[in-house]
């Protein structure tokens, strides 16, 4: 801690970047925390403006859609223009989910082939018995 700028009674709360003066003075919010909040607000505003330029949404609708789609402005624009790209909508899977999906797919495919082979064999036996 830099002793030139802060007294020894100052404590830094790392969870919210505030400097708390234990001598009873009011807390002072660190300027870097304010800068981060300002940058996030600016970035959200720029994304909303980008959506507004390419869609017919109002400011509030664009904000709501961006929040709904977790800030993915491309998805918001595509949905508004009627472009539904399956890979953007597909949810992410863990390695275990993907492994079991492939196992189920393989077992279903094998079961389907076995069933068709059995039906074909019955058909052939029926034709030979006639």
Residues 2-22: tens digit of each pLDDT: 445 544 555 444 555 555 555
Domain that holds residue 122: 92-130
Instruction: Identify whether residues 82 and 105 lie together within a single domain.
Output: no
Instruction: Identify whether residues 71 and 9 lie together within a single domain.
Output: yes
Instruction: Identify whether residues 40 and 65 lie together within a single domain.
Output: yes
Q: What is the pLDDT of residue 26?
A: 47
Backbone angles phi, psi at 92, to 5 degrees: -75, 145
Instruction: Identify whether residues 121 and 84 lie together within a single domain.
Output: no
pLDDT category of residue 1 using cuts at 50, 70 and 90: very low
Tokens matching residue 49: 């403006």
Instruction: Identify whether residues 13 and 67 lie together within a single domain.
Output: yes
Q: What is the pLDDT of residue 89?
A: 52
Instruction: Identify whether residues 77 and 129 lie together within a single domain.
Output: no
Report in angstroms the alpha-carbon separations of 72 from 60, 80, 94, 124: 16, 13, 21, 57
Instruction: Identify whether residues 70 and 118 lie together within a single domain.
Output: no
- pTM: predicted TM-score of the whole model, two decimal places: 0.44
Q: What is the pLDDT of residue 17?
A: 52
Region 92-114 average pLDDT? 93
The whole-chain average pLDDT of the chain stands at 79
Region 98-104 average pLDDT? 94
Q: Cα–Cα distance between 19 and 82 in angstroms, integer?
A: 50
């Amino acid at each position: 801690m830099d002793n030139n700028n802060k007294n020894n009674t100052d404590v830094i709360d790392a969870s919210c970047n505030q400097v708390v003066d234990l001598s009873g003075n009011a807390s002072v919010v660190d300027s870097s925390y304010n800068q981060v909040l300002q940058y996030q607000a600016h970035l959200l505003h720029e994304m909303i403006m980008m959506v507004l330029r390419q869609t017919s949404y109002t400011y509030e609708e664009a904000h709501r859609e961006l929040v709904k789609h977790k800030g993915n402005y491309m998805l918001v624009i595509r949905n508004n223009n009627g472009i539904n790209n399956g890979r953007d909508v597909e949810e992410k899977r863990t390695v275990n989910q993907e492994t079991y999906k492939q196992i189920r797919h393989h077992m279903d495919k094998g079961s389907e082939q076995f069933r068709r082979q059995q039906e074909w064999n019955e058909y052939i036996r029926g034709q030979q018995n006639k």
